[in-house]
Structure 1
Amino acid sequence: MIFYFSGTGNTRWAAEQIAAATGEELINIAANLQSNNEFHLKDDERIGFCFPIHGWRPPFIVREFVKQLHIKNADGHFCFGFATCGDDVGLTFDYLKEDLESAGLHLNSAFSIIMPESYIFPIIDSIDKPEVAEKKKKNGKKALETILPDIINRKSGIRKVNESHWPRLNSKVIGSFFLKKWVSDKPFHVDPKLCIRCGVCAMVCPVKNIKGGSGLSPEWLHNGLCTTCFSCYHHCPKHAIEFGNRTKGKRQYFFKQTNSSKKQN
């Protein structure tokens, strides 16, 4: 049983590879936020949590989902965490371990891979150029291939993660500021002169926070679930969506299947 959250597709791709290799069921966290979060394990089933790094932490909706999770007969089942990141993980897996323990689960192993950056930072253009993004995807696939045997064989005590030079500073100080000041849908807006009312933004929003569709201009619902994953911004075919002034003139990225990221057989 693999729970995953993904904004621009990096983590979804990786979770699909893990599910294909292990035969485990994929469960979309965003699609189950309103459920009772009670799940029943099959014999010898793995438990996995896959997500992108947000502010050197798990996305806040992932943390809330885990804290409210109820899994029957979890004792003895291999439990792992897996993250996609633009650079490093900080204290991400410390937070995950703490949240899992509150739900009666134990984190056996932790893994991460570097994938193309999708978060829009102020001032700088943090989105990778296409050639850099393709190289990261290729290297990410190779890194995942080294991780899969550990997950398949349920190896405990494994920590294959991209370590941080300043984990406490990144996760506790910058991460706290990120969560309080930057995680909001309020700055999102659309340029009516560029918007073609295609409905793509509403379709790709993982938390269904955008009201829209074919022929409709998008409206952010302020439902409290926006993680600022920027999926709406990155998928807009006309670059009509902006996040305050931060995204003006910046590049876009979302995961596309290429020869370097084909699903494994």
Structure 2
Amino acid sequence: MNICIIVFSPSGHTLQAAEMIKAAMEEQAMQVQLLNITGQKEVFKNNNLRGFLLENVNRHDVLCVGGPVYAGHLEGNARKVIKTLPDPDEHWGKLAIPFITYGGLHSSVSLQEAGALFHAGRRINIMGVKMASFHSLSQNLLPYKINEGKPGSEEEIVAREMARRLKQLSSQCKWDDVRRSFGYASLLHKVVLKFLDQDYFHGKYRTVRANPEVCNGCGICQKFCPVNLIEIVGQKAVRVDNGSYCLLCAECYHHCPRNAVVHDFVEQKITKKLNDEKDKYHEIPQSAVYPIVSL
């Protein structure tokens, strides 16, 4: 069985999860391609996601697409990948496995959204996966960060369970779509997030910039921006308009050695919010393969 895993991973944790999944599948003697679109110039600078996928995705039986959860939703670029996929044919497999990573508070409707998009593209959701991961915006929290060290050993177990199930399913010639099992979010989340998208929560904070009086043009922020929004012009980091939008992932903010990046979302909003919420609510189980099978 040939598998293609496509991943968008702004902070690297979804990529870690994808690598765990790849390793677990290879243990089951599957052929796996892992394609990371993060920071790809053809995708973000040239705005040619479809062309990039057509050129780089190998023939496969099963397609996995993974991305992080932002504001309760599957991140927009991961959604765009699923929407952009060609229809299933002899090259593009009809079997799909969405997977998401989230910072430990809630994965909300993200897996359900991914499953619905795959279904709309005439693919069959044969399972879904969620994995808890380090909440990269919790780096300034005290006395501890959220899910530091994740994905870790518990998520490796989930990856192996996913691969084991896929091995069993590979002998079948007919498959059921299991996307209904992805609808585990609370009714409140489903209702609220049906009307409030990621931009509602994040839009007014997309003003991330480098302070020109502090920036020395080292280029580190440019290196870490997952959507290629930063260029060095006149030895200063500047935002460019390439058709993408700032994710507020804060990779530029956390990696800048001179603290030159001004990030209102981190400094004014999210740190306090996470500090208030980090002990209140965690999904159980944090990481799982869906549908959940009782032993």
TMscore range, shorter length: 0.7 to 0.9
Query: For 2:160, which of 136, 139, 149 is the aligned residue?
Result: 149
Change (3 A) 1:57 1:161: same
Number of matched pairs: 239
Cα RMSD of the aligned pairs, angstroms, is: 3.3
Bigger mean CA deviation after superposition, 224-233 or 28-37: 28-37
Bigger mean CA deviation after superposition, 82-91 or 20-29: 20-29
Cα deviation code 1:206-232 (max 9, x no counterpart): 11111128x721111132322332222
Cα distance in 2 for partners of 1:26, 1:103 equals 21
What residue is the counterpart of 2:289 in the other structure? none
Offset at residue 76 of structure 1 (A): 7.0
What secondary structure is seen at the aligned counterpart in 1 of 2:67?
Answer: strand
Query: For 2:209, which of 189, 192, 210 is the aligned residue?
Result: 189
What secondary structure is seen at the aligned counterpart in 1 of 2:97?
Answer: strand
Change (3 A) 1:14 1:130: farther
What secondary structure is seen at the aligned counterpart in 2 of 1:225?
Answer: coil
What secondary structure is seen at the aligned counterpart in 2 of 1:72?
Answer: coil
What residue is the counterpart of 1:247 in the other structure? 267
What residue is the counterpart of 2:63 in the other structure? 47
What secondary structure is seen at the aligned counterpart in 1 of 2:241?
Answer: coil
Offset at residue 249 of structure 1 (A): 11
For 2:189, the aligned partner's letter is P
Cα deviation code 1:26-72 (max 9, x no counterpart): 11234363142334424xx4321111101211111221221111253
Offset at residue 93 of structure 1 (A): 1.7
Cα distance in 2 for partners of 1:128, 1:246 equals 9
Query: For 1:25, which of 15, 26, 33 is the aligned residue?
Result: 33
What residue is the counterpart of 1:220 in the other structure? 239
What residue is the counterpart of 1:136 in the other structure? 147
Cα deviation code 1:130-184 (max 9, x no counterpart): 8734x7244531331221123212167599989544321453244x2x3246247
Query: For 2:194, which of 172, 190, 210 is the aligned residue?
Result: 172
**Bigger Rg, structure 1 or 2:** 2
Change (3 A) 1:181 1:167: closer
Cα distance in 2 for partners of 1:141, 1:196 equals 36
What residue is the counterpart of 2:6 in the other structure? 3
Change (3 A) 1:212 1:185: farther
Cα distance in 2 for partners of 1:206, 1:19 equals 22
Cα distance in 2 for partners of 1:207, 1:188 equals 13
For 2:96, the aligned partner's letter is C
Pair 1:236 & 2:256 matched:
yes
Bigger mean CA deviation after superposition, 198-207 or 220-229: 220-229
Cα deviation code 1:95-132 (max 9, x no counterpart): 1112112322222211212222234xxxxxx5464873
Q: Which has the higher helix share?
A: 2
- What are the ranges of 5 or more consecutive residues in structure 2 without an aligned counterpart? 27-31, 170-177, 272-295
Query: For 1:108, which of 126, 149, 153 is the aligned residue?
Result: 126
For 2:236, the aligned partner's letter is S
Change (3 A) 1:250 1:91: closer
TM-score by length of 2: 0.68
- What are the ranges of 5 or more consecutive residues in structure 1 without an aligned counterpart? 120-125, 252-265
Alpha-carbon contact 2:132-2:155 (below 8 Å) kept:
no
